[in-house]
Amino acid sequence: MLPHPVLEVEDVAIRFGEVQALDGVSLRVNPGECIGLVGHNGAGKSTIVSVINGGLTPHRGTISGDGQSLLSYGIGIARNRGVRCVFQELSLCPNLSIIENTRIMHRNLGGFGWRAKAAAIIAKSLDLVFPNHGIDVSASVGSLSIAERQMVEIAMAFSDAGTPPRLVILDEPTSSLDAGLAAQLLAHVRRFVESGGSVLLISHILHEVLSTAGRIIVMKDGRISSERVAAAFTQATLVEAMGSVASAVEARNVTAKSTETALSLALPRGIPFAARRGEVVGFAGLGGHGQTDMLLALFEHHSSRWLPRRDPEVAFVAGDRRENGIFELWSILRNMTIAALPDLSPRGFVQAGAETGRGADWKSRIGIRTPDMNNRILSLSGGNQQKVLFARALSTRAPVVLMDDPMRGVDVGTKQEVYRIIRAEADAGRTFVWYSTEMEEMSLCDRVYVFREGAIVEGLSGEAISERAILAASFAGAAE
Amino acid sequence: MKMSSDNLRLLVPILSLLLLLAGVFYLQPRAMSYMGLNLLFNLAVPIALATIAQMLIMSVNDLDLSMGTFVSFVACVTATYLNDTPALGALILLAAIAVYAVMGVVIHLRNLPSIVVTLGMSFIWAGLAVLLLPAPGGTAPVWIRSLMTSKPPVVPMAIIASAIIAVVAHVIVMRSSFGVLIRGVGGNQRSVERAGWSIIAARGGAYALAACFAVAAGITLVGLATSADANIALRYTLLSIAGVILGGGEFTGGRVSPIGAVIGALTLTLAGSFLSFLRISPDWQIGAQGVILILVLALRLIFSGRTAKTGRSAKT
Amino acid sequence: MRAIFAKPWIWSFLAALAVWAATVAVTAGSSMQGLSQAALTFAAFSVMVGIGQMFVITLGPGNIDLSVPATMTLAGTIALKLMDTNDGMILQGLAVTLLIGVTVGVANYTLIKLLRIPPIIATLSMSFLVQSTAIWTNRGLRIKPPEFLAEFSIASTFGIPNVALIALVLSVLAWVLLHRTVYGRWIAAIGQSLPAARMAGVPVDGTRFVTYIFCAVMAALCGTLLSCFSGGAALNMGAEYLLISIAVVVIGGTAVAGGDSNVPGIWGASLFMFLVVSMLNTYGFGAGVRLIMTGLIIISVILVASGRQGGAR
């Protein structure tokens, strides 16, 4: 007889407004196994993780653990059962020291002399996962590098202060680690699994998943599309199971581009940046290695904080919609026209007619699904909100459009539509600078710059753009 | 030597205080005595307590605009009920602390801007204070009067009290689990919540603790002033905010320093004496305080700009 | 009709009306004319500073101008001193009022930008300097306003106090700015999300700069007008307007979190605030009860407003 699963979710469904984030997902985590979870952005991986760690209550479905059904599941219960999670975004308090963060993470660590205990616990875990890490546990988290923060987060999840970790969820744990540290982590995952622990590993780097996980689950559009033992997958069949996004789009335009430079930026180190007219330039590399900073610097250089300008040089499409994209109180129309407002406002007065016309025009051109452009922006699904942001940038007269990982959480259908629009606009002479964490999207670019530690380390163009070449450049030097 | 960011944070306030102190001693050498120091820093005790209270509120990313009226209210209670019927007075003060806790909980639950809620509360405390003491009056309880005017050997009372306040606040805010929790709420509320803590309790607790310090501020103020009136501490709202900022605290992110806050309060108190020793016309006293505030902030910018550069690559 | 009740400002007007009726009822109607006149007059001053503060608060969390009272005092003091009871100097007096507003606004935003400090502490430091300047120029003397201005500010046209008419004109101007111009869109965008506004190409610093100047100019105008109305500039005349300017914005239904402002609500709230005070006076309550009532009103309004927002999300 099989042992009871550490945790099991059955037929779980979750909706966010218009978006069906999860649609009948069942998942079973046995003790002593590592499950790989793969899928494109927006496939529902993060959502299922939130259900497992108790952060989200599903609208349908059941959760059980060790053979008993858990009716009132929540963050506290999950933690008491030994479920730990390492998130993509920072989940430590930057103003506190590593020791103090350990205190926050372990509620039962109180009492006199807790500092010494916490220091011992986190130091032990760090030594175990990342031997020779060289991190001072009394340092404040804010003073650590990204890689060090990620190491602390991971060590925190594996640390034991009374309640031992039983199921550790790692969501893109290696995104800021170099090859050596990633290897240390994966080795620890194998040790942990051998000693009876369970791990749920989410990663874009497929060979990591293939080499570490015993079982791989592929998600697509909020469902599990495929589930097999890892040995039954190869990199190619895994990519196929995920449903390649790029294949449906016509190959990149190989005809000679104009040689006129549309945008350039001198950099203190690394390869200088330049983009030509009508070109789609990709920014690749591991997340958080300076791509967004570079886009912001480009925007900063070519726009003014003080004076309004009639002829904008650049427009920006944000990836983090909530943070720097949409205006939540406003209608769809106002959200769309804000960037092009000076064009619609002779002598500073907004012409309502011209604005409505512009809105109706782009509503049909980019296919925003709404009965009325005067509805609130939040009435739209995430994908349609993103289309509004594209329309905002494209409806300006700016010759260059900067895009900061704009496809996060966007469904496949919308992506295809947007890819076509980008291609068409580029052919008409617009320049696009495109940062994306999706490898497939890089293959849509004419040229790709690979980033490492805040600088451009490689420029690839045309046929030379491949996942292998990008990964090699992202890690080059670190493996030495 | 590598300096931790916490120590660096304290450098500017300490420098500012020493600079001012040197200025005062230069202008008025007689101040360099037991009596002189006591006079210089006497009023610092209630201001330091109010500054710690404001700092606690700021450590959870809120701001208390009712600090001044609340301290005035406490002063009025101290000079009336706490003197005449101590049990009833203590009960009133406990109820006031409970109100603060409730305020913290409501602000969190309804996601209200603390500035507006405390603005409303400031009218209420002011109203209650006016009802208690329509005209200046009342009497300070004997015990607080004798405590505040006591003359311990060698070091004046005001300095000893300030040091005790700094140590107590440091232990609570920087060393205890509860202090870690409230600073954690200021730093990254989501992750504290994910670790299974009750943010409501943390915020309520921070507000209640702040109220305790503010109550102490009111009582010590009456001890010094011997009587109270409804407007006795109105400037404490602004003084306490300025004190926290001078002491290296920040408005958001849970970055606060109790020792720095006490030093900030001392600096502000000293600034007043310094200006009068400088024989600056009383017309410009307030303005000169503004200038000092601006100068210290500029000084801090220079220092923090240096640390920000070294720490920046890690930040994004 | 439903549409009217959906407006956030309607409640402040209904409340003002109710308080007005309650006060008039007590005096059996004898005070109707006088009360309405007084309410409009005193509300006008709150409206002027309130509109300026509202523009600043619309810029989003943390934006607030604490230098309003000091600016009022300084403008009133210097303008009256310059005019020196001379009717021929009125234009110069107004010009210097505007100049003071612009100067304080520029200084405020310079501090915010240069020292990278929150507006609350920048405008506070600035208010110390401004207040000192006012004390220094005033020297405790009470200079009378020019005859014409003094009479104009207490007179009425068509039964409506002149100051109320001025406030009305300024309100209409503010409304047009907010709802019909690119500038109005920009401040609403900045208030909802500064990074999003920046990335949408809004000149965020320019817009905020202008807004802080606008607020200071409104305060300066109000200060000069108030000192003409009350027969001379007093050093503490701005004091009560600090809290009032924030309170009328909140009660008037402007989103405290920024991005959504409301001109009519300022009027409702200003009338309401004045009428509550006069009602409590009529009923014989003292200053203590008045203050407590004001506090309770602010807190209940913010509680109700937050409930509304929560429902919409």
Higher pLDDT, A80 or A259: A80
Q: How far apart, in Å, do the first and last CA atoms of chain C sit?
A: 24
CB contacts of B242 in chain C (<8 Å) are 121, 124
Are A307 and C259 in contact (CB < 8 Å)? no
Q: At residue C157, what is the residue type? A: T
Instruction: Identify the band that residue A248 occupies on the pLDDT scale cut at 50, 70 and 90.
Output: very low
Do residues A332 and A373 touch, judged by C-beta distance below 8 A?
yes
Residue A84's DSSP bridge partners are: A168
pLDDT score for C69: 92
pLDDT score for C313: 27
- Comparing alpha-carbon positions, the chain C residue that sits nearest to A395 is C200
Are A345 and C181 in contact (CB < 8 Å)? yes
User: For B294, which of C125, C133, C257 is closest by C-beta distance?
Assistant: C125
Sequence-distant (6+) residues with CB within 8 A of A9 are: A25, A26, A27, A28, A48, A51, A52, A58, A61, A62, A63
User: For C181, which of A299, A328, A348 is closest by C-beta distance?
Assistant: A348
- Comparing alpha-carbon positions, the chain B residue that sits nearest to A142 is B315
Are C290 and B127 in contact (CB < 8 Å)? yes
Whole-angstrom Cα distance, residue A32 to residue A194?
6
pLDDT single digits (tens) A39-61: 876 678 888 888 998 888 888 88
Is residue B192 less than 8 Å (CB to CB) from chain A? yes
Are A95 and B314 in contact (CB < 8 Å)? no
User: Which pair of structure tokens corresponds to residue A196?
Assistant: 């009876």
Is residue A330 less than 8 Å (CB to CB) from chain B? no
What's the mean pLDDT in A361-388?
Answer: 85
pLDDT score for C147: 87
pLDDT score for C99: 96
Which 253-312 residues of chain B touch chain C by CB within 8 A? 281, 283-291, 293-294, 297-298, 301
- Mean of per-residue pLDDT scores for chain A: 84
pLDDT score for B194: 82
Higher pLDDT, A332 or A462: A332
- Comparing alpha-carbon positions, the chain B residue that sits nearest to A54 is B194
Are C196 and A327 in contact (CB < 8 Å)? yes
User: For B116, which of C121, C298, C307 is closest by C-beta distance?
Assistant: C298
- Comparing alpha-carbon positions, the chain B residue that sits nearest to A90 is B191
User: For A95, which of B195, B197, B255 is closest by C-beta distance?
Assistant: B255
Is residue B191 less than 8 Å (CB to CB) from chain A? yes
- Has residue C237 got a pLDDT over 70? yes
User: Which pair of structure tokens corresponds to residue C17?
Assistant: 């009306």
CB contacts of B183 in chain A (<8 Å) are 93, 95-96, 100
What's the mean pLDDT in A92-98?
Answer: 91
Are A307 and C206 in contact (CB < 8 Å)? yes
Are B287 and C118 in contact (CB < 8 Å)? no
CB contacts of B184 in chain A (<8 Å) are 93, 96, 100-101, 104
pLDDT single digits (tens) A305-354: 888 877 888 999 987 777 788 898 899 999 999 999 988 988 889 999 99
Q: How many residues does chain A have?
A: 480
What's the mean pLDDT in C24-31?
Answer: 76
Is residue B33 less than 8 Å (CB to CB) from chain A? no
Whole-angstrom Cα distance, residue B126 to residue B120?
10
User: Which pair of structure tokens corresponds to residue A140?
Assistant: 């404040």
Are A305 and C205 in contact (CB < 8 Å)? yes
CB contacts of C311 in chain A (<8 Å) are none
CB contacts of B251 in chain C (<8 Å) are 62, 118, 120-121
Helix (H, G, I), strand (E, B) or coil at A62: strand
Q: What share of chain B is helix, strand, coil (3-state, %, to 5)?
A: 80, 0, 20
Closest to B66 measured CA to CA, from B134, B120, B130, B133: B120
Helix (H, G, I), strand (E, B) or coil at A402: strand
- Beta strands at A400-404 and A198-202: parallel, antiparallel or unpaired: unpaired
What's the mean pLDDT in A133-160?
Answer: 88
Q: Nearest C-alpha of chain C: how many angstroms from A351?
A: 8
DSSP string for residues in A237-278: HHHHHH--SGGGSPPPP-SPPP--EEEEE--SSSSPEEEETT
Whole-angstrom Cα distance, residue A42 to residue A23?
13
Residue A19's DSSP bridge partners are: A16
pLDDT score for A101: 93
Is residue A222 less than 8 Å (CB to CB) from chain C? no
CB contacts of B287 in chain C (<8 Å) are 128-129, 131-133
Task: Give the HSE-up count for residue C213: Cα atoms under 13 Å, Cβ half-sphere.
Answer: 12
Are A338 and C192 in contact (CB < 8 Å)? no
pLDDT score for B5: 62
pLDDT single digits (tens) B263-303: 999 988 888 778 878 888 877 877 887 888 888 788 777 77
Whole-angstrom Cα distance, residue B39 to residue B33?
10
What's the mean pLDDT in A148-167?
Answer: 89
User: Which pair of structure tokens corresponds to residue B274?
Assistant: 């310094």
Sequence-distant (6+) residues with CB within 8 A of C156 are: C37, C162
pLDDT score for B160: 92
DSSP string for residues in C146-172: PHHHHHHHH-EETTEEHHHHHHHHHHH
- Has residue A119 got a pLDDT over 90? yes
Whole-angstrom Cα distance, residue C204 to residue C193?
11
pLDDT score for B306: 55
ipTM for the predicted complex: 0.87
Q: Nearest C-alpha of chain C: how many angstroms from A284?
A: 21
Helix (H, G, I), strand (E, B) or coil at C212: helix
Which 284-323 residues of chain A touch chain C by CB within 8 A? 299, 303-309, 312, 315-316, 318, 323
Above pLDDT 70, what percent of chain A? 93
Residue A9's DSSP bridge partners are: A27, A63
Is residue A148 less than 8 Å (CB to CB) from chain B? yes
pLDDT score for A235: 78
Are C192 and A329 in contact (CB < 8 Å)? yes
Q: Which of A232-246, A461-475, C8-22, C205-219 has the lowest mean pLDDT?
A: A232-246
Task: Look at phi and psi of residue B198 and say left if phi exceeds 0, alpha if psi is from -120 to 50, else beta.
Answer: beta
CB contacts of B285 in chain C (<8 Å) are 132
**Per-residue exposure over C244-254, b if at least 16 CB sit within 10 Å of its own CB, e if not:** bbbbbbbbbbb
Angle at B269 between CA B266 and CA B273, to 5 degrees: 130
- Beta strands at A198-202 and A34-38: parallel, antiparallel or unpaired: parallel
Q: Which of A210-214, A239-243, B218-222, C51-55 has the lowest mean pLDDT?
A: A239-243
pLDDT single digits (tens) C39-48: 999 999 999 9
CB contacts of B254 in chain A (<8 Å) are 93, 95-96
CB contacts of A323 in chain C (<8 Å) are 193, 195-196
Q: Which of A359-363, A380-384, B164-168, B196-200 has the lowest mean pLDDT?
A: A380-384
Which 132-171 residues of chain B touch chain C by CB within 8 A? 134
pLDDT score for B310: 41
pLDDT score for C163: 94
The pLDDT averaged over each successive group of 10 residues in chain B (316 residues) is 62 87 88 84 92 96 92 95 93 96 93 85 93 91 89 87 95 93 91 87 96 96 90 87 86 88 91 80 80 81 60 34
pLDDT score for C310: 37
User: For C246, which of B119, B126, B287 is closest by C-beta distance?
Assistant: B119
What's the mean pLDDT in A409-429?
Answer: 82
pTM for the predicted model, two decimal places? 0.84
Question: Angle, to 10 degrees, between the axis of helix B236-246 and the axis of helix C119-138?
Answer: 120
Q: Nearest C-alpha of chain B: how many angstroms from A322?
A: 16
**Which site among A104, A109, A148, A435 would you substitute to test the B interface, given the most B Cβ atoms closer than 10 Å to its Cβ?**
A104
Helix (H, G, I), strand (E, B) or coil at A44: coil
Whole-angstrom Cα distance, residue C59 to residue C202?
13
Please provide residue B113's backbone torsions phi and psi, each rounded to the nearest 5 degrees. Answer: -70, 125
- Has residue A258 got a pLDDT over 80? no
- Comparing alpha-carbon positions, the chain B residue that sits nearest to A56 is B194
Q: Which of B261-265, C97-101, C249-253, C262-266 has the lowest mean pLDDT?
A: C249-253
Q: Nearest C-alpha of chain B: how many angstroms from A77?
A: 9
CB contacts of A73 in chain B (<8 Å) are none
Sequence-distant (6+) residues with CB within 8 A of B12 are: B248, B296, B299, B300, B303
Are B290 and C126 in contact (CB < 8 Å)? yes
pLDDT score for C3: 64
Which 82-141 residues of chain C touch chain B by CB within 8 A? 111, 114-118, 120-121, 124-129, 131-133, 135-136, 139
- Comparing alpha-carbon positions, the chain A residue that sits nearest to B6 is A140
Do residues A383 and A414 touch, judged by C-beta distance below 8 A?
yes
- Comparing alpha-carbon positions, the chain C residue that sits nearest to B61 is C62
Is residue C113 less than 8 Å (CB to CB) from chain A? no
Is residue B314 less than 8 Å (CB to CB) from chain A? yes
Residue A315's DSSP bridge partners are: A401
- Mean of per-residue pLDDT scores for chain C: 87
